[in-house]
Structure 1
Amino acid sequence: MTLKNWFKSGSPWVWLNAGAIAISMIMVVGLLALIMVRGFSHFWPSPILMTDLTTHDGREMRIVGELSRSQVLPAQVLRDAGVPIDDDIQLVTRHLIKQGNRDVWGRDFVWYPELGMTQWTYPRDAMRLERREWGDFYGFPVRILEQGRTVAEGDQLWPELQQRIRRANDIFDEIRRIERREIGNVNHRMERVRLSERRLDLQLREGRITVAERDQAMADLAAQRLVLDQEYAVLQARLDALYKDVRRDTLVAQVMDGREWEIPMAQIIRAIQPNDMNVLSKTGLYLKQFWEFMSGYPREANTEGGIFPAIFGTVTMVFIMSIIVTPFGVLAAIYLREYARQGPLLRVIRISVYNLAGVPSIVFGVFGLGFFVYFMGGAIDRNFYPEALPSPTFGTPGLMWASFTLALLTLPVVIVATEEGLSRIPSTIRHGSLALGATKAETLWKVVVPLATPAMMTGLILAIARAAGEVAPLMLVGVVKLAPTLPIDGNFPFIHLERKIMHLGFHIFDVGFQSPNVEAAQPLVYATALTLVVLIVVLNLTAISIRNHLREKYRGESD
């Protein structure tokens, strides 16, 4: 076969397409592997190294910490920085050491040149403390103090430390439960009482109630407020006792320059000695830290802790968006395909829908802020929540407006997919239904629409995939860096659509580009990115399974 005939056969284009698909798959798998290695390796307990360093000016210092990464630089770079290096040295290796102890040294990560370093050792008693503030602490345990009195040191120190850390964590869990649930519930009811009092004042001013009616209602509200004040006082007394109890113990540890540093036990979440752990214990710790990352709340400017609020906010927003966009998109497609008169106007509408799918997402965010938040939300506040003004209830970015904005963003996708599904239904099925005596509406809703349901689900799948990864419009209409409460709780009406939420995409942006501690946040960026990818895959697989079920169901009925 000549080269000309080979090209005419189309084989080169088949191989070209196959090669493009293979390259794309390799790139996708490579990207996911990179994210997985960079992100999830963060939870594996790294060994703690110790070495002595003699600096270029003759000072000697001891370094204790974890190796973050190494880098090879031309020696001239350090010479330009004023470091005297022999002329025969061309390359210099430097190491980024996570020495922690931000409250001691002022920064977590420091670059140290390999020149002047002694051989690294890994002392078995070197420990890492995961803290609620100031990041991780690296050092050596010395003694435990209880109200200033030494209660453990030497061989008894480490078991006693683990026991007292568990005790402190149990107390903090109780504190968090009281603050978020019980006190949160009391504050919610007190706010409702305050709004009820303001509502009575507005009704009296507008002449809708008399002074006597207002005074009687105010007396009832005052009695409710008194009960709530008493409940709050009891809870506050419990909190004060718990805070006093958790501050009882203190750990004295030695840092790398030999100084002793006191760390309140209330700040410590976990204490480990990775150099003294075997593979099994490290694996158990890895799984525990990974679960805490998925189910915990963020702290330390989102560079520590978990991402559960971001996962919850993302799933809730996508779920509400799907409920909104599906009926509107399906009904619009049905009207355009089945009822609207075909002509130039309809072609213009279709072109507009196609173009709407290509509008930058930030434009939808600006529209959502102006129309949904300020116009619709402001109108809702003026008509239904006047007692809360000037503090807005719905006239501020929140979960509902974020869901509405994403529904508008993904509406063209659902319309186009549904129209394509309706167009693929053979006309003979419509004619057969009509010939059997069914009306046009019965034919549409009992025959055509069920057969087009898989295509509708395809549009929803595409909408979910796009909505779950959007960030730019959400920054304007309801997503924040840190949301104090979840949009769903035990207080009526249980689903609070006016609350702001966290989102995995915005969390990645915030941690990756707005974090004051870039090195500490870098592993969390990868871990959160992989979590978002997995979440999108799970949502899509769920929708795909529903679509396949419907396809098989209506295919069987049509047979």
Structure 2
Amino acid sequence: MKRWWKSGAPWVWLNAGAVAVSIIMVLGLIGLIAVRGLSHFYPSEIVEFQVGDPERGIGQMVMGEHVRSETIPVPVARDAGIAVPPELDNDDLVVRHLIKQGNRDVTGQDFAWYAELQMSEWQAPPDAMRLERREWGDFYGYPLRVVEDGEVVAEGEGLWEALQSRVDRANTLFRELRRIERNDVGVISADMEAMRLRERALQRDPNIAPEALQAELGQIQERQAELQEAFQTLRGEIDILRDELYRDTLVASVVSGQEVAIRLGDIVRAVQPNSLSLSAKAVEYVQQFWAFVSGEPREANTAGGIFPAIFGTVTMVLLMSMIVSPFGVLAAIYLREYARQGPLLRLIRISVYNLAGVPSIVYGVFGLGFFIYTLGGSIDDLFYADRLPSPTFGSPALIWASLTLALLTLPVVIVSTEEGLARIPSSVRHGSLALGATKSETLWKVVVPLATPAMMTGMILAIARAAGEVAPLMLVGVVKLAPTLPVDGTFPFIHLDRQIMHLGFHIYDVGFQSPNVEAARPLVYATALVLVILIIVLNLTAISIRNRLRERYRAASD
């Protein structure tokens, strides 16, 4: 036993056990997030039951999806307003179920708790439907008829097929309407703003002759008239599309029998989950998950998709990587290869190490004060004075968020690159110098290529940290909802002055600031899962590039 302890084997097993426990915990956490998030998109069964005491004529019909159940003590049930039979003691337990009943425009609430002892047997009517709407949340009920311009066009046996085809038509019209509003109208608005700024610049120019000023102003007015005419044409197209979009109406009944008229232009998806086969449910599951990944958020981020947040996160991380890579690598090369060793250099290295431990919110405050107010304000004064007092770069934006994250991850890249340069044997440098290469040629053609895998390791760590940061981004460019993406077809195509959405901030906003907690709960898990997958993909891409570079330079050295 003593020999076994001295051999160091116990410590090997201890480290292996710690690694195994860590892997199990990570996989368990990811599994929990995946189960809670992905199960949200599976078409759940719609149940119908009665609550109350039917024998005494007291009760109501309820329809919706079962969310979860919990067991509570009798005193808690009484405090919650549940009519508990007197024969139950305080030590007894009561089961209650959370039902997503939707119909917020009818009932006033999406979710409600119901005690099992007050519920009748659950039924699953095959013709029960769920409508995903752009406003007022989901609707649960029974389809009755489709009305077009006041006339009934479908009811009875062919109602559901007609409803699906008209919902698809409405969604196509909605996408076309959104494209015109964001692209075509956006281009005209940008041109009109450019003309306004040009006119303001001419009026402020003291060196321009009056005749030239009048000629320029005349051309600007002609161009503004052309743009106004084009805008009116688009406005007419938009009005026509809106009339077509809201032409059809679905008349449906809720479980109580009340009839409700719903415009098909407000419906995103219509489904009857109780009548779907297993394969149809799988198709519906994939379609709903894709709609979540590729769609835009709705209902205060408690419905819809997260594509703007995914796009903003990827764009910001890529821009951050482009900024931090040259600065971090060059700083590490100078500190390792050129700087004179001494107390000052040791102080600089200690400062770099300490920067890695500074709370991220401090970087956010620095970015707000220096990048936005000082640097951005100066840029506005020099190049965008005609737009003042409306700021261009003097407000939170994509470029400032990327710079703040670059500053945040700079110590990681410097330390990793320095360690990579330090691992290059001195014999490699001496051999290159002995063959007649200069110090600069030795550095850039021999040493730096061999240290490239270490540089990529630093980038991997930087990407992983930057993609998950939230606190500093709230101050320098990330918002709850960004109406437009930072990349589009309008010059200069990449708009660094726009604010963006971010997956990390989206999780915080949905999880802690949502007005509808129960509706937001599954979206928090689903968004967290997408963020984890995105970080894994970015890291695997960087690891693949690192391994490829390592093999290339290893083969070259052989």
Regarding TM over 0.5, the answer is yes
Q: Distance in 1 between matches of 2:247 and 2:495?
A: 39
- Residue 58 (structure 1) shift: 6.2
* Matched AA of 1:274: P
- Residue 219 (structure 1) shift: 1.0
* Matched AA of 2:409: T
Pairwise mapping of residues 139-178 of structure 1 onto structure 2 (< 5 A)?
139-178=141-180
- Residue 8 (structure 1) shift: 2.9
- Residue 88 (structure 1) shift: 3.1
Compute the RMSD of aligned alpha carbons: 1.3
Cross-structure match for 2:86 = 86
The range that moved more, 398-407 or 56-65, is 56-65
Pairwise mapping of residues 131-530 of structure 1 onto structure 2 (< 5 A)?
131-203=133-205, 207-530=206-529
Cross-structure match for 1:129 = 131
Unaligned runs of at least 5 residues, structure 1: none
- Residue 175 (structure 1) shift: 0.6
* Matched AA of 1:339: Y
Pairwise mapping of residues 19-168 of structure 1 onto structure 2 (< 5 A)?
19-54=17-52, 59-82=58-81, 83-88=83-88, 90-168=92-170
Q: Distance in 1 between matches of 2:80 and 2:277?
A: 42
Cross-structure match for 1:18 = 16
Q: Distance in 2 between matches of 1:179 and 1:167?
A: 18
Q: Distance in 2 between matches of 1:450 and 1:556?
A: 12
Q: Distance in 2 between matches of 1:311 and 1:391?
A: 28
Per-residue CA distance 1:318-370 (angstroms, 9 max, x = gap):
11101110000011011111111100010000000000000000000000000
Q: Does the 8 A contact of 1:481 with 1:506 survive in 2?
A: yes
Q: Distance in 2 between matches of 1:480 and 1:88?
A: 51
Q: Distance in 1 between matches of 2:10 and 2:434?
A: 50
Q: Distance in 2 between matches of 1:107 and 1:208?
A: 65
* Matched AA of 1:88: L
TM-score (norm 2): 0.97
- Residue 96 (structure 1) shift: 0.2
TM-score (norm 1): 0.97
Q: Does the 8 A contact of 1:139 with 1:256 survive in 2?
A: yes
Q: Does the 8 A contact of 2:399 with 2:497 survive in 1?
A: yes
Percent sequence identity over aligned pairs: 66
- Residue 307 (structure 1) shift: 0.8
Q: Distance in 1 between matches of 2:475 and 2:178?
A: 30
Per-residue CA distance 1:510-529 (angstroms, 9 max, x = gap):
11111111111111111111
Per-residue CA distance 1:395-428 (angstroms, 9 max, x = gap):
0000000000000000000000010011111111
Q: Does the 8 A contact of 1:79 with 1:85 survive in 2?
A: no
- Residue 452 (structure 1) shift: 0.8
Q: Distance in 2 between matches of 1:151 and 1:76?
A: 54
* Matched AA of 2:187: N
Per-residue CA distance 1:159-186 (angstroms, 9 max, x = gap):
1111211221121111111111111111
- Residue 280 (structure 1) shift: 0.9
Relative to structure 1, the CA distance from residue 517 to residue 80 in structure 2 (aligned partners, 3 Å threshold; closer, same or farther) is closer
- Residue 132 (structure 1) shift: 0.7
Q: Aligned to 1:447, what secondary structure does the other structure show?
A: helix
- Residue 17 (structure 1) shift: 1.4
Q: Does the 8 A contact of 1:329 with 1:414 survive in 2?
A: yes
Q: Does the 8 A contact of 1:75 with 1:85 survive in 2?
A: no
Unaligned runs of at least 5 residues, structure 2: none
Q: Aligned to 1:395, what secondary structure does the other structure show?
A: coil
Q: Aligned to 2:208, what secondary structure does the other structure show?
A: coil
- Residue 430 (structure 1) shift: 1.0
Per-residue CA distance 1:203-231 (angstroms, 9 max, x = gap):
2xxx2322222221111111111111111
Q: Aligned to 2:117, what secondary structure does the other structure show?
A: coil
Q: Distance in 2 between matches of 1:429 and 1:81?
A: 76
Q: Aligned to 2:137, what secondary structure does the other structure show?
A: coil
* Matched AA of 1:202: R
Q: Distance in 2 between matches of 1:55 and 1:361?
A: 57
* Matched AA of 1:335: Y
Q: Aligned to 2:96, what secondary structure does the other structure show?
A: strand
Q: Distance in 1 between matches of 2:421 and 2:502?
A: 35
* Matched AA of 2:423: R
Q: Distance in 2 between matches of 1:37 and 1:311?
A: 21
Q: Does the 8 A contact of 1:297 with 1:307 survive in 2?
A: yes
Q: Distance in 2 between matches of 1:14 and 1:426?
A: 29
* Matched AA of 1:193: M
The range that moved more, 464-473 or 80-89, is 80-89
The range that moved more, 293-302 or 78-87, is 78-87
Q: Does the 8 A contact of 2:74 with 2:84 survive in 1?
A: no
Q: Aligned to 2:369, what secondary structure does the other structure show?
A: helix
Per-residue CA distance 1:423-469 (angstroms, 9 max, x = gap):
11111111111111211111111111111111111111111111011
Q: Distance in 1 between matches of 2:84 and 2:4?
A: 66
- Residue 14 (structure 1) shift: 2.0
* Matched AA of 2:174: F
* Matched AA of 1:49: V
Q: Distance in 2 between matches of 1:55 and 1:109?
A: 21
- Residue 15 (structure 1) shift: 2.1
- Residue 5 (structure 1) shift: 4.1
Q: Aligned to 1:115, what secondary structure does the other structure show?
A: helix
Q: Distance in 2 between matches of 1:522 and 1:338?
A: 52
- Residue 37 (structure 1) shift: 0.8
Q: Distance in 2 between matches of 1:424 and 1:11?
A: 28
* Matched AA of 1:485: T
- Residue 87 (structure 1) shift: 3.2
* Matched AA of 2:458: G
Q: Distance in 1 between matches of 2:148 and 2:74?
A: 51
Q: Aligned to 2:143, what secondary structure does the other structure show?
A: strand
Q: Distance in 1 between matches of 2:400 and 2:522?
A: 32
Q: Does the 8 A contact of 2:74 with 2:88 survive in 1?
A: no
Q: Distance in 2 between matches of 1:58 and 1:349?
A: 81
Q: Does the 8 A contact of 2:146 with 2:249 survive in 1?
A: yes
Q: Distance in 2 between matches of 1:442 and 1:269?
A: 62
Q: Distance in 1 between matches of 2:415 and 2:53?
A: 67
Relative to structure 1, the CA distance from residue 189 to residue 158 in structure 2 (aligned partners, 3 Å threshold; closer, same or farther) is same
Q: Aligned to 2:147, what secondary structure does the other structure show?
A: strand
- Residue 535 (structure 1) shift: 0.6
- Residue 150 (structure 1) shift: 2.1
* Matched AA of 1:21: V
